[in-house]
Amino acid sequence: MLADLDRARDALHAIPPDLPRDEWVRAGMAAHAAGLPFDEFDAWSAGGGNYDARAARDTWRSFKNGKGLGPGTLFKMAAQAGWSPGNKRDRARYAKAPGRPAERTKAPRPGMGAAEVWQRCEPAAASHAYIEAKQGTAEGLRVVPAGDSLRIADASVAGWLVVPVLPLDGGEPASLQFIPPPGAGKKLNLPGAPVAGVFIVGDLPTAGAVYLCEGIGQAWACWKATGAAAVVCFGWGRVRSVAAELRQRDPSARLVLVPDVGKEAEAETIAREVAAQFVTMPDGWPANADANDLAQRDGFDALEALLLAPKVPAQRFRLLGSADLHALPQLAWCVRGVLPAHGLASVYGPSGSGKSFLVLDAAAAIADGAEWFGYRVKRAPVVYCALEGEAGFRVRVAAWEEAKGRRLPAGLRLVLQSFKLTDPQDVADLAAAVLTAGAGAVVILDTLNRAAPEADENASADMGRILEAAKELQRLTGGLVLVVHHTGKDATRGLRGHSSLFAALDAAVEVTREGDRREWKVAKAKDGQDGAGHPFRLDVVDLGEDDEGETVTSCVIAPDESPQDVTRSRLPKGGNQKVVLDALGELLRKSATFGRAGAPPVRPCVQLEPAVEAIAPRLTCEPKRQKERVRQALTGLTASGVVTCREGWLWLP
């Protein structure tokens, strides 16, 4: 006796796979109960002319252990098909069969091999009833001779049309499909010979259109309508694999899938996967109607018109031309030229520069739709997450309201609870709360460090997770996510942390401080002009006394329009700054590099590190201190707006 699994496998492959659906399901349930894997069931099912890979997998998944039919049903069905347990030769065959169990199939009985059956068949004639009914051609086909003893699924196939299943590049048939005269039954495949090939009607071109069809009737119709090759895939379940093989064989081929009615959606999916096209039958045709039906009723001219105008599947990546670009909507601004209405932005600067006061003022302006520093503002809901200095935020709001003589705008809401960008649940919960404030809201996270307290800002992987979380928050809320962030110890290096942060931003506002003078400027903007400085000051607001009689104060921002202060603040401070500025000017005059890192196209630029190396010998301090002093001088010049440093490039604004 064969081992139990080998015996079950032998029995399964003795059953013709071209069964009515309920019998096919019975065989599958019994095979499942016998312990056979899905791959074995799928390989057996593929031998049927009505094979559907997705249906096979979905059906298999529906089988439950211990429920339904038992292994005995499998052996009973096999016995009814003429099977009996194998002998030693059978066991040797299974032991030597290569590959996975799914690749092992039952060897055909003597006289049942594809090549043997094909050899004893006779050339088909155009007068065969099926060929006449489908208006096909007999080329390449044969007929089972009258009186032949071949029986499949208890049916004699004598006189049936035989279609060879051939390797794509030619050779002996791997299997055969038998087609009865119209009304005499359904198509059957040769048992024990899985369908692993195609039949080509016409000449397969090196390049040009190739039509992929389920059966030979559709292929005949496509070939006669267009003159182009049509490939018989032997069932819809094989269209995907045949299309992939054809695409690999000829990347330039124009593959066109020709599905029956009801299979258009899957055809589009396959076409997208293999860079193909597809057609759909005109409206009004019943389910399973096909190209041959269209040609029979409306003529080959109607089919030709359909086939020569295939559809291109919707692509995930859309290729745009000039006209498409001009048709795109204009960029939407929250603060025109400064902050976009959608995306990821940052306001950054050193501690004590006044950036949080500045952001609160901007938030109120956005919620109110009021002009801000001369920039037009589009009203939007704002949710301000005050994650740093929460206790003092009430005082800041009170100072703003005292200075403005009114309450905060109704559209500005505050969150004082802790929040972690790196916690997906926190992101989802905050997004849900933000959506209650209105669509397209601006979400402010003050500060990024407090929003991701456990992350290493300097690590690429951690910063990647922070950015992905911020983008997910933006996607869920549909507006702008604005993070407040610090600069590092060296202000010339910009945002603190990994450089991927600045690269990912759609907009950035840099806040600087030189003594009592503060300034903000656009460091990066979508289609906006950056670099213009906007001086501001912090005005102290007296809020009375607390419960212990101590004076309570806070600050509000106000534009600083004093030209004297601006002019004075832009002069270099100290001897080192003057020497460094003069030396930098010489380097810039000799530079042949322009417009780097956001500098105006006509503005010469030099790289930071080579500039430090070149300028260092100009200073009179100890040689080991020279580079450090150059960096300090550049930091001061950058903070005062005399020099711009961004992404490792220097230029004069």
What's the confidence (pLDDT) of residue 232?
Answer: 95
Does residue 436 sit in the same domain as residue 551?
Answer: yes
Does residue 31 sit in the same domain as residue 160?
Answer: no
Could you tell me the pLDDT band of residue 236, with boundaries at 50, 70 and 90? Answer: confident
Structural tokens at position 80: 């009814």
Does residue 205 sit in the same domain as residue 67?
Answer: no
Q: pLDDT tens digits, residue range 216-229?
A: 999 999 999 999 99
Compute CA distances 261 → 83, 201, 266, whole Å. 38, 22, 11
Residue 320 maps to a domain:
no
Does residue 522 sit in the same domain as residue 546?
Answer: yes
Cα dihedral 170→174→180→181 (10° resolution): 10
Phi-psi region of 550 (alpha: psi -120 to 50; beta: other; left: phi over 0): beta
pLDDT over threshold 50, residue 566:
no
Q: Which secondary-structure segment (H or E) carries 498?
A: none
Could you tell me the pLDDT band of residue 2, with boundaries at 50, 70 and 90? Answer: very low
Q: pLDDT tens digits, residue range 4-31?
A: 777 887 788 778 777 788 888 888 888 8
Mean of pLDDT over the chain: 85
Does residue 380 sit in the same domain as residue 492?
Answer: yes
Compute CA distances 506 → 345, 406, 434, whole Å. 6, 33, 21
Residue 323 maps to a domain:
no
Specify the pTM: 0.49
Does residue 528 sit in the same domain as residue 583?
Answer: no
Does residue 348 sit in the same domain as residue 383?
Answer: yes
Residue 134 maps to a domain:
yes
- Answer with the one of 564, 586, 614 that is the final residue of a domain: 564
Could you tell me the pLDDT band of residue 493, with boundaries at 50, 70 and 90? Answer: low
Question: Among 472, 494, 559, 463, which Cα is nearest to 347's?
Answer: 494
Ranges 47-61, 235-249, 463-477, 560-574: which has the least confidence: 560-574
Q: Report whether 190 contacts 209 (CB < 8 A).
A: no
Residue 312 maps to a domain:
no
Residue 318 maps to a domain:
no
Residue 446 maps to a domain:
yes
What's the confidence (pLDDT) of residue 323?
Answer: 87
What's the confidence (pLDDT) of residue 476?
Answer: 92
Could you tell me the pLDDT band of residue 99, with boundaries at 50, 70 and 90? Answer: very low
Strands (E), 87-191: 122-123, 142-143, 151-152, 155-156, 161-165, 175-179, 188-189
Does residue 557 sit in the same domain as residue 612?
Answer: no
Does residue 283 sit in the same domain as residue 165?
Answer: no
What's the confidence (pLDDT) of residue 426?
Answer: 93
Domain that holds residue 625: 574-651
pLDDT over threshold 50, residue 103:
no
CATH code, domain with 222: 3.40.1360.10
pLDDT over threshold 80, residue 405:
yes
Could you tell me the pLDDT band of residue 93, with boundaries at 50, 70 and 90? Answer: very low
- Count how many domains the chain has: 5
Does residue 390 sit in the same domain as residue 303?
Answer: no
Does residue 399 sit in the same domain as residue 517?
Answer: yes
Residue 39 maps to a domain:
yes
Q: pLDDT tens digits, residue range 281-294?
A: 999 999 989 999 99
Question: Among 361, 644, 362, 618, which Cα is nearest to 491's?
Answer: 644
The CA-to-CA distance between both ends of the chain, in Å, stands at: 90
Task: Provide the 3-class DSSP secondary structure of residue 150.
Answer: coil
Q: Report whether 437 contacts 383 (CB < 8 A).
A: yes
CA distance 59 to 48: 15
- Answer with the one of 142, 167, 189 that is the final residue of a domain: 189
What's the confidence (pLDDT) of residue 385?
Answer: 93
What's the confidence (pLDDT) of residue 563?
Answer: 41
Report which residue type is found at 312.
Answer: V
What's the confidence (pLDDT) of residue 132?
Answer: 94
Could you tell me the pLDDT band of residue 79, with boundaries at 50, 70 and 90? Answer: confident
Own/partner contacts of 556-563, CB < 8 Å, gap of 24 or more, are 556/357, 556/361, 556/399, 556/400, 556/403, 556/404, 557/354, 557/357, 557/358, 557/361, 559/373, 559/534, 559/535, 560/517, 560/518, 560/535, 560/536, 561/535, 562/535
Residue 315 maps to a domain:
no
Does residue 529 sit in the same domain as residue 400?
Answer: yes
Could you tell me the pLDDT band of residue 215, with boundaries at 50, 70 and 90? Answer: very high
- Answer with the one of 189, 223, 240 that is the final residue of a domain: 189
Compute CA distances 310 → 196, 204, 280, 287, 296, whole Å. 27, 19, 8, 20, 20
